[in-house]
Structure 1
Amino acid sequence: MKYDIIVIGSGPGGYIAAIRASQLGKKVAIIEKYATLGGTCTNVGCIPSKALLDSSHHYYDAVHHFEEHGISVENPSFDFGKMIDRKAKVVETTTGGIKYLMDKNNVDVFEGLGSFEDATHVKITKNDGTSEIIEGTNTIIATGSKPSTLPFITLDKERIITSTEALVLKEVPKHLLVIGGGVIGLELGSVYKRLGAEVTVIEYAPKITPTMDADISKELNKVLKKQGMKINANHGVTSVERNGDEVIVKATNKKGEEVTFTGDYCLVAVGRKPFTTGLGLEKVGIKVSDRGMIEVNDHLQTNVGNIFAIGDVVRGAMLAHKAEEEGVVVAEFLAGEKPHIDYNLIPGIIYTWPEVAAVGKTEDELKDAGVAYKAGKFSMRALGRSRASGDIDGFVKVLADKNTDEILGVHMVGARVADLIMEMAVAMEFRASAEDIARICHGHPTYSEAVKEASKAAWDGKPLNS
């Protein structure tokens, strides 16, 4: 069977690429090696982790905050099994929705491992060992990523685990050791901390969230410590060993001293790596970088002209929404359109509580680039809406060009900033100035007023409510 476009991988990048290509009149096939569609994000990543974050947040509020609202709940308890079951149902509904979209958009779905026979033929090896070959004028590789580890760590997937296993534990750990103070480690650490686990984060860099703005790292570190999480930055892990139901992690601190941490589970959250195993890239001569990423040009085209790659297998942030945008770009490019994507405006989000969100440049990046800038900052504590809800931690910081006032970067910690950040992404897409945002009427009382106030602080240094 011949197709205009074959998509290998059904994660956010792959299935969105398939839908958009079909909308533009292309005959499309999508290949997925697992029984359910949606990839890592839907099955063992974004969606299930958010389900557990929401469930654990409700319980945490019942224990720690309901009373101050005048709500009495005697001895709040939780059923961890039900939480896991609810998470599974959310995933099932979402994967079912993706299957519905494939049917609606006339995308043919093939279950099995896709691998190149040549530049236009893809072999699909099914779980029962049978196979078939389909032909495609163009192919989009969207096979995503897998959790990384450290070379000296043996993942037994029982006590020494990745994020995949952390989403299906049978019990709440007594003491969860988390190697890595990035998005995955802090989110899953938050889930289990709220449910009563002792949580210790061990981070190699001098700060958690090391790629984000320094003010975000400082504020989040303070808030998580206040919630009871133990954070050890500047600690390089040297060994991880299991002894029965105990895991021992040894690390070296910045003074060169050896430190030992002991827990019953250890989550290894040191990032992710591109997954291209079994694709047969060598058969078609597709170039791969030293880091295992497929090399692409500005159109996400590999060195083999009719084969494209998107999402976690190519350079850039490993984010579901980045993969989606790249999927749309490739589909539209193949339909003869002229799409664009601005990688500077892809937001980064952490779903702890308070949430963290950022778009554009950090202060360090602007300093390194020699860009003259001004900064405006506004505390969530100063908002009526924050005081009403009790969510007073955090801030919004706006960085603007010192000469033109154009917004260059925005960094937030606070309630619902995962949603608030998009106002500033839109503003930056249209090259807005800090004054532009400061002069837009924002509803009162809302969390979004912090965006207006921080913008005014960046523009003229005179926020109205602080």
Structure 2
Amino acid sequence: MEAREYDLLVIGSGPAGQRAAIQAAKLDKHVAVVERRAVVGGVCINTGTIPSKTLRQAAIDLSGYHMRSVYGASYSAKQKITMQDLLFRADHVIRNEIDVTRHQLLRNGVELFQADASFVDPHTVRLKSFDLHQGYRDVSADKIVIAVGTSTARDPHIPFDGQHIFTSDDVLELRDLPRTLAVVGAGVIGIEYATIFAALGVRVTLVDKRKRLLPFLDAEIADALAYQMRDNRMTLRLGEEVSGIEPFHDERGDHVRILLASGKQIVTHKALYSIGRTGAVGSLNLEAAGVATDDRGRIATDEHYRTAAGHIYAVGDVIGFPSLASTSMEQGRLAACHAFGVAAETMPDHFPYGIYTIPEISTVGRNEEELTQAGVPYEVGKASYKEIARGQIIGDATGLLKLLFHRETRKLLGVMIIGAGASELVHIGQAVLALGGTIDYFVQTVFNYPTLAECYKTAAFDGINRMG
């Protein structure tokens, strides 16, 4: 075989690429990572997951959102909240995560290149340096992992300016909080930002051509989210299609007009356009590697994350759903193990999903619609935060935990939670699911008091009582 410079070359340093590189390094392989940004971490750390979740937490803390049920709807921990207040916290977390990620790669012996990568042939990648004096160099690798992530989809007919009409990638550049905001697109990212701004007192209108929020969710949980969004003064324009977005200026200042196909108009201070994301593959020259994409720039892979070129793998958001940092990390690990013939196991049926809306949502396992379609005899157990002491203490009287279990075997089938701490709380149910546990586990175990974890016991008793 031809000698190549690297055993593994990873293109992209986000969660998927980072995990693939470190896993290969742990297997004593010679590994390099190519990142086009000046800093590592990809979209996840720099413009996506970490910034948005930090902004969310800052919004909750500064607005006193969770305490409004105790002190009244007018309560706020800080009277005048600015974008600078939010960005100060985000900048701190981003800098720390960049440093941690870079340190992890370097201490595992992974080489880092800041360059734009493009394929020359299936085993050779050209690295174009952003330093004009260095030009480019070609590197070869036995195995290659594509982990370039995605970029926001931008309609060429919409006049984006980054301040009045912007995408989620532009949020960190906003100079001021809007008085009113229209969010076009009710996907996960759109809904997360819609609820964050609404918690800060911004009057938000959410527009989507689908008639239901987040159709992959359990219907009851999605309905509960819609109810709480409306209760927080949000307007939901579902089943409406946007025909145009245009900026305009009048005596009150700069505004945005959104035209709907139904003839309605929405006039707002700012507009967030969030109609999906596309694979960031434009400069890779994938044709030279024998790899194709679909119309959204996504790369097809097999169950081992191999592309059509068997030695090239693709992981993370660039391969599509579920496009979560947690699942992307696992995909990177599994791809690196398979590339070098190392057996690795995972539990894809028990991946948790976290949606960081306000309130947050997390699920694991199957929902009611899926069980009904599969003809599985199941029962439901529910617990409301308002009947749990901890729920009253933290000021969340609207949260809900829902358990689905088999009527005959009593095995746990799914967990759905909406409310404070949902993304942490779900892991208890995830462990019981993975170990094949039954609803009786929650009855027989003892949870600390007062905690939200008690919801599991209350929901279990509720489900058992429903069976008579």
Range with greater deviation from structure 2 (303-312 or 57-66)? 57-66
1:218-239 Cα offsets, whole Å, 9 max, x none, are 1111112222222222222222
Using the TM superposition, give the Cα deviation of residue 67 of structure 1 relative to its aligned residue in structure 2, in angstroms.
7.2
The answer on 1:190 being equivalent to 2:195 is: yes
Aligned to 1:352: 357
Query: 1:234-383, aligned counterparts within 5 Å?
Result: 234-244=239-249, 245-252=254-261, 257-383=262-388
Q: Which of 22, 29, 32 is the aligned partner of 2:32? A: 29
SS of 2:80 mapped into structure 1:
coil
Unaligned runs of 5+ in 2: none
SS of 2:173 mapped into structure 1:
coil
Task: Give the aligned residue type for 1:49.
Answer: S
Query: 1:64-79, aligned counterparts within 5 Å?
Result: 65=68, 68=71, 76-79=79-82
Task: Confirm or deny: 8 A CA contact 2:162 2:174 kept in the other structure.
Answer: no
**Structure 2: distance between partners of 1:394 and 1:56:** 19
Range with greater deviation from structure 2 (56-65 or 12-21)? 56-65
SS of 2:264 mapped into structure 1:
strand
Task: Confirm or deny: 8 A CA contact 1:405 1:459 kept in the other structure.
Answer: no
Flag the 1:80–1:122 CA change in 2: closer, same or farther, 3 A: same
**Structure 2: distance between partners of 1:184 and 1:73:** 25
1:188-211 Cα offsets, whole Å, 9 max, x none, are 122322333211111221122232
Task: Confirm or deny: 8 A CA contact 2:69 2:396 kept in the other structure.
Answer: no
Using the TM superposition, give the Cα deviation of residue 343 of structure 1 relative to its aligned residue in structure 2, in angstroms.
3.0
Task: Give the aligned residue type for 1:424.
Answer: G
**Structure 2: distance between partners of 1:170 and 1:15:** 32
SS of 1:358 mapped into structure 2:
strand
Flag the 1:153–1:400 CA change in 2: closer, same or farther, 3 A: farther
Using the TM superposition, give the Cα deviation of residue 312 of structure 1 relative to its aligned residue in structure 2, in angstroms.
1.0
1:149-190 Cα offsets, whole Å, 9 max, x none, are 457544333321110112321000111100122321222122
Task: Give the aligned residue type for 1:248.
Answer: R
SS of 2:137 mapped into structure 1:
strand
Using structure 2 for the length normalisation, give the TM-score: 0.92
Flag the 1:155–1:62 CA change in 2: closer, same or farther, 3 A: closer
Q: Which of 98, 110, 115 is the aligned partner of 2:113? A: 110
Task: Give the aligned residue type for 1:106.
Answer: G
**Structure 1: distance between partners of 2:361 and 2:204:** 20
The answer on 1:57 being equivalent to 2:76 is: no
Q: Which of 68, 89, 97 is the aligned partner of 1:86? A: 89
Query: 1:141-156, aligned counterparts within 5 Å?
Result: 141-150=146-155, 152-156=157-161
Aligned to 2:131: 128
Using the TM superposition, give the Cα deviation of residue 333 of structure 1 relative to its aligned residue in structure 2, in angstroms.
1.9
Task: Confirm or deny: 8 A CA contact 2:67 2:394 kept in the other structure.
Answer: no
Task: Give the aligned residue type for 1:442.
Answer: F
1:357-405 Cα offsets, whole Å, 9 max, x none, are 1112221122223333222222111101111221111211111223322
**Structure 1: distance between partners of 2:430 and 2:155:** 35
1:237-270 Cα offsets, whole Å, 9 max, x none, are 2221222421111224xxxx42211112111122
Using structure 1 for the length normalisation, give the TM-score: 0.92
Q: CA RMSD in A?
A: 2.3
SS of 2:64 mapped into structure 1:
helix
**Structure 1: distance between partners of 2:70 and 2:432:** 40
Give the paired residue count: 457
Using the TM superposition, give the Cα deviation of residue 77 of structure 1 relative to its aligned residue in structure 2, in angstroms.
2.8
Task: Confirm or deny: 8 A CA contact 1:326 1:341 kept in the other structure.
Answer: no
**Structure 1: distance between partners of 2:140 and 2:461:** 57
Using the TM superposition, give the Cα deviation of residue 294 of structure 1 relative to its aligned residue in structure 2, in angstroms.
1.2
**Structure 2: distance between partners of 1:83 and 1:291:** 32
Flag the 1:162–1:172 CA change in 2: closer, same or farther, 3 A: same
Flag the 1:301–1:225 CA change in 2: closer, same or farther, 3 A: same
| Identity fraction in percent | 29
Using the TM superposition, give the Cα deviation of residue 293 of structure 1 relative to its aligned residue in structure 2, in angstroms.
1.9
**Structure 2: distance between partners of 1:145 and 1:62:** 32
The answer on 1:202 being equivalent to 2:207 is: yes
Flag the 1:87–1:149 CA change in 2: closer, same or farther, 3 A: same
Aligned to 1:219: 224
Flag the 1:446–1:320 CA change in 2: closer, same or farther, 3 A: same
Task: Give the aligned residue type for 2:153.
Answer: S
Task: Confirm or deny: 8 A CA contact 1:204 1:233 kept in the other structure.
Answer: yes
Flag the 1:331–1:63 CA change in 2: closer, same or farther, 3 A: closer
Flag the 1:63–1:174 CA change in 2: closer, same or farther, 3 A: farther
User: Structure 1 stretches (4+) deviating beyond 4 angstroms?
Assistant: 72-75, 149-152
Task: Confirm or deny: 8 A CA contact 1:166 1:188 kept in the other structure.
Answer: no
Task: Give the aligned residue type for 1:341.
Answer: T
